[in-house]
Amino acid sequence: MNTPAPPTIRTHAIHNREELIQVLGIASELEHNLMCQYLFAAYSLKRYPDEGLTEAQLDQARGWGSLITMVARQEMEHLGLVMNLRSAIGAPPSFNRPNYPQPVTRYGKADIDSVLTRFSTATIARFQKFEQPHPLPPGFCAMTVDEARRHREQARALWQSAPAVPRSPLEPFDFHFDSVQGLYESVRRAFRDLPGLFIGSPEAQIFGGPGSPYAGDMDDLNQYDVDLVHVTDKDSALQAIHIILEQGEGIQAPPDYVEHTHYCSFTRILNEMRDAGFDAARPVVDNPLTTLHMDITTPGEVNLITHPDTLQVAVLFNRCYELMLVLLLYLYGSRGRYPQRSLEFTNAIFFPLMTMFVRPLAETLTQLPAFADRPGNAGPGFELPGEIVVLSDFRYLWNSIDDHFRSLADDFGQLNILRQPHDHPPAIVERLRYTSENMRRLSLDWHSHWTDVGYT
């Protein structure tokens, strides 16, 4: 390379296992954070013919929503990969994440906003910036295969020779990374160079494909496009990081993959939005929350939901979301202790909770009024009351989850919208009714240890 590397092409030194665990904690928080922001925007899109768009516009908006939810799904996969990386080096999993909004300074120099905003050009431009590769050549997303191949080689060389910001042991460990890519390049170097890292229990990970406990059968996550690597050594760790970087920034992506990277997906959406020239989103307010949580430092950016019927739905959304995280945390950290029970947790999380509860409630919230006294729609706040924990005694954990499911089933039945359906749009009532009956059934499924379901 003849030209000096731009200032963002640098890594930060990670000296030992504990620092690496901390950085992976930042990474997991970031993946989780971005995923929620992406989902919020996707779920704010108009979907139905009575929302003021033409049919062609609705289908175009659907295409954007589809692309964003695909990116969000890959962020979930990245989160899973980071969990496996942590687990491989002996650390417990963590789904901790601050509530929205958070100041842009939270992630140091990376300029990452933590806010929930509706689908718009500003929102998508923000997402595009999160996923930007470094370096970013002109016309990155439209490169020919040969151009992409050459760029890939140059970028690889650039990052391999990138300076590491030095730090002496007497200096504080301030991991102020410059970009998501810089964060993972720092992690890559640590896995490459630090000795004796892999002390974690191999069972305490979720992965699919060959070698997984469920390889080839219906519980193999790989068949659901969740391609999680089992991290057991340096090569598998580097493969996991490689996947995260390829899917996101695409700096090392195969030449024919570049158009599918997150950065190029958001670029495509942005270009299409500018050409299309219509507002595709519902009037969802920024950062709609049920309460001001203790970790929020900019309360002026919060919109507290005050409409009583909507507030109930938002509370149930948050409870379903939190329950899903508890179940995931168990699977990522404790599965190896009770392998015969892990399938019950898988049964609850991967198929029902996200698809049949978290998603429909999120979409329903974007159709409901946030306030009793002024316009503006609500949305899913992805609120967490505090640290997500898994009880260490399995009996108490199982009973606790049983209680959660039972109370959710009861509380769905108490929703004002379902008790006074004539005051609300029929489509919303119907959707909540369907969700409510599914929660009732799911609660019974869990309680019976999944013995009363059909053939599996």
Partner 1 sequence: MLKLLFEGYYQMRMATDPDPPDDPRGLSGYTFALPGEPDLDHKLHFQPDEKGAYQRVYGLPGAPGPLIGVQVTDAMENGAQRPDLKGARVRFVDAEVVERNGVIVRNDLFVIDPLRVRIEQAGTGSPLLERVDYLSGDPDKPNLPIVDATKAQIERRQLQGGFMDGSWKVALATGLPSPDDAALLANRRERQRHLIELRDTIDRQRQPGEYQGLTTRIAQLDILKEWWDLTAPPGAVPLDRRARQLALLADGWNIDINGPVLANALGADEKKLWNLSFWMGGWDGDALCGFIQGELNVPLLAPDA
User: Binding residues for partner 1, per CB under 8 A?
Assistant: 42, 47-48, 54-56, 58-60, 62-63, 65-66, 69-70, 73-74, 209, 218-219, 222, 224-225, 227, 229, 239, 242-243, 246-247, 254, 257, 260, 347-348, 350-352, 354-356, 359-360, 427, 431, 434, 437-438, 440-442, 445, 451-456
Query: Do 164 and 189 contact (CB within 8 A), yes or no?
Result: yes
CB closer to partner 1, 55 vs 387 = 55
Q: Which is nearer to partner 1, 101 or 208 (CB)?
A: 208
Helices 426-447, 339-348: axis angle to 10 degrees equals 170
Residue with smaller CB distance to partner 1, 2 or 451: 451
| Half-sphere exposure of residue 92: CA atoms within 13 angstroms, side-chain side | 11
Least distance from partner 1 to the Cβ atom of residue 143, Å = 17
Q: Smaller CB distance to partner 1: residue 128 or 247?
A: 247
- Least distance from partner 1 to the Cβ atom of residue 81, Å: 11
Query: Smallest distance from the beta carbon of 147 to partner 1, in angstroms?
Result: 19
**Nearest C-alpha neighbor of 314 from the set 334, 275, 345, 287:** 287
Min CB(44)–partner 1 separation in Å: 12
Residue 159 CB, nearest approach to partner 1 (Å): 18
Between 69 and 291, CB nearer to partner 1: 69
What is the spatial distance between Cα 97 and Cα 75, in angstroms, rounded to a whole number? 14
Nearer to partner 1, 10 or 359 (CB): 359
Q: How far is the CB of 438 from partner 1 (least distance, A)?
A: 5
User: Which residues are CB-contacts of 275 (< 8 A; sequence separation ≥ 6)?
Assistant: none
Closest CB to partner 1 among 233 and 452? Answer: 452
Residue with Cβ nearer partner 1 (29 or 445): 445
Specify whether the CB–CB gap between 182 and 27 falls below 8 A: no
Provide the 10 A C-beta neighbour count for residue 230. Answer: 20
**β-pair partners for 377:** 284, 369
Contact criterion met (CB below 8 Å) for 289 and 318: no
By CB neighbour count within 10 A (0-12 exposed, 13-18 middle, 19+ buried), where does 277 fall?
exposed
Smallest distance from partner 1 to CB 239, Å: 8
User: Shortest gap between Cβ of 268 and partner 1 (angstroms)?
Assistant: 12
In the complex, minimum distance from the CB of residue 70 to partner 1, in angstroms, rounded to a whole number: 7
Dihedral (Cα; 98, 102, 105, 110), 10-degree rounding: 70
Angle at 347 (CA atoms; ends 75, 223), nearest 5 degrees: 55
Closer to partner 1 by Cβ: residue 76 or 304:
76
Strands (E), 232-361: 288-289, 303-304
Classified as helix, coil or strand, 164 is strand
Q: Smallest distance, Å, CB 106 to partner 1?
A: 29
DSSP E strand boundaries for 284-334? 288-289, 303-304
Q: Which is nearer to partner 1, 200 or 250 (CB)?
A: 250
What sections of 131-261 are H helices per DSSP? 145-160, 180-193, 234-248
Residue 418 neighbours by CB under 8 Å, 6+ apart = 412, 429, 432, 433, 436
Q: Would you give the DSSP letter of residue 90?
A: T
Least distance to partner 1 from the beta carbon of 7, Å? 29
| CA pair distance 82, 88, nearest whole angstrom | 10
CA distance 37 to 107: 15
* Single-letter amino acid, residue 39: L
- Find tokens 């509530």 and name the residue: 99
Q: How far is the CB of 359 from partner 1 (least distance, A)?
A: 6
**Can you list the alpha helix ranges (DSSP code H) found in 51-120?**
55-88
* Closer CB to partner 1, 14 or 313, in the complex: 313
Closest-CA residue to 17 (of 188, 231, 194, 240)? 194
Residue number, 59 or 295, with CB nearest to partner 1:
59
Q: Which two tokens stand for residue 139?
A: 């016309």
